[in-house]
Amino acid sequence: MNKEGKLHALLATARIANVPSVLSNLAVGVLLGCATEGAGFTWPWALSVAAVMFYVSGNFLNDWADREWDAEHRPERALPRGLFREGLYLKVAVGGMGVGLVIAGFYGWVAWLVAAVLVGLIVLYTRVHKRVGWSVVPMGLCRACLPVLGFVAVRGSLGGQVLFPAVGLLLYVVALSLSARGESRADVEPGEKWMARGMLVGAGLVAALLPLMIMPLVGWIGLLPFFMWLGLCVTKYRSPVPAHVSALLAGIPLVDWIVLFPMAFIWLKLGRVEAGGGMFLTALLLAPFCYVLGRMLQRLAPAT
């Protein structure tokens, strides 16, 4: 693909490499919702489109808002290069989020409310992320909303079990951002870097609490691939900074797998799924597939 062309620029604006992780985040909520007694497994395809629309639209809005800053610091992006009109990015952002809200409404008012909160967080992050240090929190909350959205879309109400992966994602994304800042600044104290890494570990432990509470002998297995990749992120992929951040971004689906990997076998033992069935295979394979796909897409367009 021509890296100087418009198609590559659009894929970079959309952060296409991170889209698989959006589907993985949504899936952990959908599967937890379907596993509740009395619910069958159905995949909300239209909601998947809405979730991707929210993410992609947020990136277009972010690049539109950052166009002047990017002209100085990220001149390789599409708007500073003059590949598209500024108004087009704003129209795509507003239109995409509007379509996403309409789709979410078909899954009930609770799903629409979660989607509206997500849109509000996207706008808040866009307004403050270049101004205040706590902007990492609304960014993390955007990710945390995705499993909640998936859960309420299939259940119609919020359940406590989905908060474990949601909080895990919140901590992971906040820690990811802090870790990236620490690696990119020479004046950061070693304690700050270790705090960020500690939060990455904490994110995994929080996500693992759900399967551990249900079946301790099985509940820990999702931590193995997560910690293996985390180890590579802070050693082999520690520098340069873009490689470090890209590696951590690729690992977002592994946070979901901390929950889904053991839960697939727990649900099998409890008789809620069948070996080889759609729900079992989705829980077992979707998150690692999204991780691999995201890593491959990073070769096509940058993740940041």
SS3 141: helix
- Degrees, nearest 5: CA angle 71-73-75: 50
Asked if 9 contacts 302 with a C-beta cutoff of 8 angstroms, the reply is: no
Residue 286, domain CATH: 1.10.357.140
pLDDT of residue 218: 96
Q: Measured between alpha carbons, how far is 61 from 89 in angstroms, rounded to an integer?
A: 7
**Spatial distance between the Cα atoms of 76 and 269, rounded to a whole number of angstroms:** 52
- How many Å from the N-terminal Cα to the C-terminal Cα in the chain? 18
Which helix (H) or strand (E) segment holds residue 61: the answer is helix 45-65
Name the domain count of the chain. 1
Residue 133 within a domain: yes
Per-residue pLDDT, 131: 86
Whole-angstrom distance, CA of residue 165 vs CA of residue 208: 8
In a domain, 303, yes or no: no
Are 257 and 288 within 8 A, CB to CB? yes
Q: What pTM does this model have? A: 0.94
What pLDDT shows up at residue 298?
A: 96
5 domain residue, yes or no:
no
Query: For every one of its 304 residues, what pLDDT tens digit does the chain have, with 9 covering 90 and above?
Result: 666 789 999 999 999 999 999 999 999 999 999 986 545 788 999 999 999 999 999 999 999 999 999 999 889 899 999 999 999 999 999 999 999 999 999 999 999 999 999 999 999 999 998 888 889 999 999 999 999 999 999 999 999 999 999 999 999 999 998 877 655 455 556 667 788 889 999 999 999 999 999 999 999 999 999 999 999 998 999 888 889 999 999 999 999 999 999 999 999 999 899 998 999 999 999 999 999 999 999 999 988 8
Q: Please state, in angstroms and rounded to a whole number, the distance separating the CA atoms of residues 86 and 60.
A: 10
**Has residue 162 been placed in a domain?**
yes
pLDDT for 190: 64
Closest listed residue to residue 43, CA positions, set 113, 107, 109, 118: 107
The tokens describing 142, both together, are 């955007």
Q: Which residue segment(s) compose the domain that 125 sits in?
A: 13-184+191-297
What pLDDT is recorded for position 189?
62
Classify residue 304: in a domain, yes or no. no
The verdict on residue 6 lying in a domain is: no
- Residue 221 sits at the vertex; the CA angle it makes with 198 and 21, to the nearest 5 degrees, is 65
Please give the distance of CA 26 from its chain centroid, rounded to a whole number.
Answer: 9
- Examine residue 1 and state whether it is found in any structural domain, yes or no: no
Report residue 130: phi and psi, to 5°: -95, 5
3 lies in some domain: no
